[in-house]
Structure 1
């Protein structure tokens, strides 16, 4: 009975390189979704079976995975690191952690520094997913997982995992509308493709209600507080602010103190992350709960599965989020 073609034989049948066949079969970035589907269909038709023993001998392993966060000053990323490191270490991998500090040049340098360590795979919360993918493909042929990236990154060929952004925006907006708010602002971190996606979702929801969408762009801590203070100082100020993170929500609390506004009597606030500290704020923060520990855990298992040649179940994952209603939201005064 025939055992099917070899990897090189399969490549010859399809008319592409063995490297491209390997990337398509193993879920690695660098090939289109269309080519990946075609390769897998022809492989099944030809009865191709990977030789895992030969692959293990051929591919050198460092038993090290990389994880790059956007900003370690956001405690939410510490939970992600915990989940990622725990899942990796259970399977015999060490983890190298870095941060881009929301600086794209630093992000590129960090990726290159990690590839010099011969990483077996990388998970990254990207500033710009397309730029990250291009840099990684130039430096490595190992698997990549994009964490908390924009939905558009699904076409990149890399795996991805994130919270459900549409559910998050909808839950926050619906909650504030149900309370009677019509002047709602979104405080976001500009420059992130994932942030621009949430802005688009927010604008569409407000437009559907016939309401004006107000977007405040954050920056450094001091800049963000200053911009929120300005937004809250006008006669037609927002009566509610929703944010991209609990960290940004903390800055709204600071701005409210500076402008003499009381939360939630004069201003309602909704965060995103459900950090352990957020329920300790005065008043406790209403927020979107996102399980970053589970995101980290699944990102690690996806990378290791791809390295082992496994068929990755759902290579693009969106985990559910939940609105936690606490004391920072109330009907608008008057």
Structure 2
């Protein structure tokens, strides 16, 4: 005897996303009363039955939270993990940690694996926040918080926390403009929705200054260095480069050396994260400091507060960032 469609199957029948179906069936805000009634009517008509294991978890807890990072080769995520794990363990939760390695198929598999472990909640630094929400909410009715995600991934059914992206881009651009730079490039990690958002912010700010925007993107370290080297070899090369991370800034240092350029005399560089090693670079890196530890800590407390039935103040949070000026930026030489 058939047990009826799955949540995903029900979504396909109605013609909406699994996220919207989950929100409608579980009484969450974010869908209209009309759609909620329609979903419930079709669910009854189709014989849809929720996952009883998931339903049982509403009263039984595993006391485990999940955390999926994008890339553990970036030390910034280690600080995030420290903050998240510490806050969770203080409240009696264990943490299961995984990484997507910037691979969307792997990210989907990790989300499903964590849902199958019946975790009480998930924090994830997504490649694409919208796709993550659809996958998780199609597999689990437990809370999720997006970390360092693009603003467009927000919805009334999810929490999010990140550094202030607009402030980060603006502080870097204003600093370089103030030094007299007019040929400024942005180095972004291709494929990340959050990187696409920073690209849009950068283009808007450069347009506001009456200047062209130069965007360099790559998905791997080797590809990134090659593209930066090519950009730096052109006659109209940028005199300054803003990067999405301090890790990418390290690659720019390598590319500048390969191109025979001196930092900051020939090329100014601005990073993002303020890793513990960034002030040790030669020259010390000017960078936008983001408190990854605090982001991780607050992500855990938001999840646990939701599980405890608390009303979460500011479910979508942007923490302030700070530009730390060091020796990798100076007035352009030409």
Provide the TM-score with structure 2 as the length reference: 0.85
Kept in 2, the 8 Å contact 1:243–1:271? The answer is yes
Q: Residue 274 of structure 1 aligns with which residue?
A: 274
Structure 1 unaligned segments of length 5 or more: list them. 1-16, 25-30, 39-54
Structure 2 unaligned segments of length 5 or more: list them. 1-20, 37-54
Q: Residue 302 of structure 2 aligns with which residue?
A: 302
Kept in 1, the 8 Å contact 2:108–2:135? The answer is yes
Q: Which of 30, 36, 40 is residue 32 of structure 1 equivalent to?
A: 30
**Distance (whole Å) between structure 1 residues aligned to residue 56 and residue 310 of structure 2:** 13
**Distance (whole Å) between structure 1 residues aligned to residue 297 and residue 57 of structure 2:** 27
**How far 1:101 sits from its partner (Å)?**
0.5
**How far 1:191 sits from its partner (Å)?**
1.0
Q: Residue 222 of structure 2 aligns with which residue?
A: 222
**Distance (whole Å) between structure 1 residues aligned to residue 294 and residue 163 of structure 2:** 10
Provide the TM-score with structure 1 as the length reference: 0.85
Q: Residue 163 of structure 2 aligns with which residue?
A: 163
Q: Residue 134 of structure 1 aligns with which residue?
A: 134
Kept in 1, the 8 Å contact 2:57–2:118? The answer is no
**How far 1:22 sits from its partner (Å)?**
5.6
Q: Residue 94 of structure 2 aligns with which residue?
A: 94
Compared with structure 1, are the counterparts of its residues 33 and 246 closer, same or farther at alpha carbon in structure 2 (3 Å cutoff)?
Answer: farther
Q: Residue 14 of structure 2 aligns with which residue?
A: none
Compared with structure 1, are the counterparts of its residues 93 and 23 closer, same or farther at alpha carbon in structure 2 (3 Å cutoff)?
Answer: farther
Question: What SS does structure 1 have at the residue aligned with 2:302?
Answer: helix
Q: Residue 12 of structure 1 aligns with which residue?
A: none
Compared with structure 1, are the counterparts of its residues 305 and 22 closer, same or farther at alpha carbon in structure 2 (3 Å cutoff)?
Answer: farther
Kept in 2, the 8 Å contact 1:145–1:159? The answer is yes
**1:290 and 2:290 are equivalent in the alignment:** yes
Aligned CA RMSD, in angstroms, stands at 2.0
**How far 1:19 sits from its partner (Å)?**
8.0
CA displacement, residues 62-81 of structure 1 (integer Å, 9 cap, x when unaligned): 00000000001000000000
**Distance (whole Å) between structure 2 residues aligned to residue 300 and residue 57 of structure 1:** 19
Q: Residue 121 of structure 1 aligns with which residue?
A: 121
Kept in 1, the 8 Å contact 2:22–2:141? The answer is no
**How far 1:34 sits from its partner (Å)?**
6.8
